[in-house]
């Protein structure tokens, strides 16, 4: 049996989903995928996230995923830049201490990191940070694709590049207690080339911590996450922001976990902060790829670029 536990607010409920018997004798690891409503108040945000991490650890999670903007979501460009920090600043220091104290791995997905030329250009990275259970930063991925989108009919006007530097490259998947983890952030979800590159380099799980708008989330969120899972035959883990952050911005919510077949294993809904706890059974990755060997059937790179040569 597979046990899924969704915790929303202070209440808990359990839903059991029957899956095929596991072939592996090793017990699957438990991941906690969190849903947060961040505001410009960094202290309140840390307190809320800390409580989620503590609750997740108490319920058996060995790794906890927090969404994009877990540190804060500013109400203006000026506020967003003013609240930013370096990797050696107070916020990441607190999270490394928390990880070490609780002996839990953390995915902090979407930290407002001051750029290397901060003193001269006042620009930041949107950074996804992995911290191990010893409190060490083991991987940093800086968001590659920036959300510059205007959808007047949907009321969406965001220009991330006005204050954010695109990351220079992908980073190799990192070995964690739940499996080999490939890192993305939010808008990266729309670019299948990224997920396929991570899969080719060994990713068993893809993670997209996000703060999707309500308009784009209701239209595309679940569809995109399931597509990335199906085409890579990976688990996909997506922590999310939810609700009203300030007068100018709201997020869709629905933190999701999807298995390699494209089945949604957990959904936190679109109303409240909380988390979903899910067992990651890597045998499902192996069996899916063995039974439908998509990557073996793929043609070489030149084949897919052949149209460009005609």
With both helix axes pointing from N to C terminus, report the angle between 90-102 and 42-58 in degrees, rounded to the nearest 10: 10
Sequence-distant (6+) residues with CB within 8 A of 52 are 32, 34, 36, 64, 66, 273, 274, 275
Q: 276 with 269: CB under 8 angstroms?
A: no
Q: Tokens for 143, please give them.
A: 């968001």
Could you write out the DSSP letters of every residue in 98-143?
A: HHHHHT-EEEEEEEEEEPTTHHHH--EEEEEEEE-TTS-EEEEEE-
Phi, then psi, of 72 in degrees rounded to 5: -175, 165
With both helix axes pointing from N to C terminus, report the angle between 214-232 and 192-200 in degrees, rounded to the nearest 10: 30
Nearest of 84, 130, 309, 296 to residue 199 by alpha carbon: 296
- The rounded distance, in Å, linking the Cα atoms of 130 and 107 is 5
**CB-CB neighbours of 230 under 10 Å:** 19
Q: Tokens for 102, please give them.
A: 């609780």
Phi, then psi, of 36 in degrees rounded to 5: -130, 150
Residue 186 annotated among the catalytic residues of the structure: yes
Choosing from 34, 49, 62, 186, which is the catalytic residue? 186
Q: Which helix (H) or strand (E) holds 197?
A: helix 192-200
Choosing from 68, 113, 204, 279, which is the catalytic residue? 68
Q: Tokens for 168, please give them.
A: 């220079």
Q: Tokens for 152, please give them.
A: 């007047």
Residue 49 annotated among the catalytic residues of the structure: no
Choosing from 6, 62, 143, 204, which is the catalytic residue? 143
Residues known to be catalytic: 68, 143, 186
């Amino acid at each position: 049996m597979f046990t899924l536990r969704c915790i929303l607010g202070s209440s808990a409920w359990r839903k059991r989903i029957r899956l095929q018997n596991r072939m592996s004798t090793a017990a699957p690891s438990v991941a906690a995928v969190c849903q947060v409503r961040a505001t410009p108040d960094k202290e309140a945000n840390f307190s809320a996230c800390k409580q989620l991490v503590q609750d997740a650890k108490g319920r058996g999670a060995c790794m906890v995923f927090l969404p994009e903007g877990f540190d804060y979501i500013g109400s203006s460009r000026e506020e967003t830049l003013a609240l930013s920090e370096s990797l050696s600043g107070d916020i990441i220091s607190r999270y490394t201490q928390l990880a070490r104290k609780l002996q839990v791995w953390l995915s902090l997905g979407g930290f407002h990191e001051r750029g290397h030329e901060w003193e001269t250009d006042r620009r930041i990275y949107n950074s996804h940070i992995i911290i191990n259970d010893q409190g060490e930063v083991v991987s940093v991925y800086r968001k590659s694709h920036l959300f510059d989108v205007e959808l007047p009919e949907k009321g969406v006007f965001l220009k991330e590049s006005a204050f954010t530097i695109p990351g220079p490259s992908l980073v190799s998947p990192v070995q964690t207690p739940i499996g080999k983890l490939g890192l993305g952030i939010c808008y990266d979800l729309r670019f299948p080339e990224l997920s396929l590159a991570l899969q080719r380099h060994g990713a068993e799980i893809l993670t997209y911590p996000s703060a999707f708008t309500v308009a784009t989330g209701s239209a595309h969120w679940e569809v995109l996450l399931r597509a990335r899972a199906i085409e890579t035959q990976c688990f996909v883990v997506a922590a999310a922001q939810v609700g009203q952050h300030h007068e100018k911005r709201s997020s869709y919510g629905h933190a999701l976990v999807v298995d390699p077949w494209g089945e949604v294993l957990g959904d936190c809904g679109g109303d409240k902060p909380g988390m979903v706890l899910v067992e990651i059974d890597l045998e499902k990755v192996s069996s899916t790829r063995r039974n439908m060997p998509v990557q073996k059937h793929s043609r070489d790179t030149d084949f897919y670029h052949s149209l460009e040569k005609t």
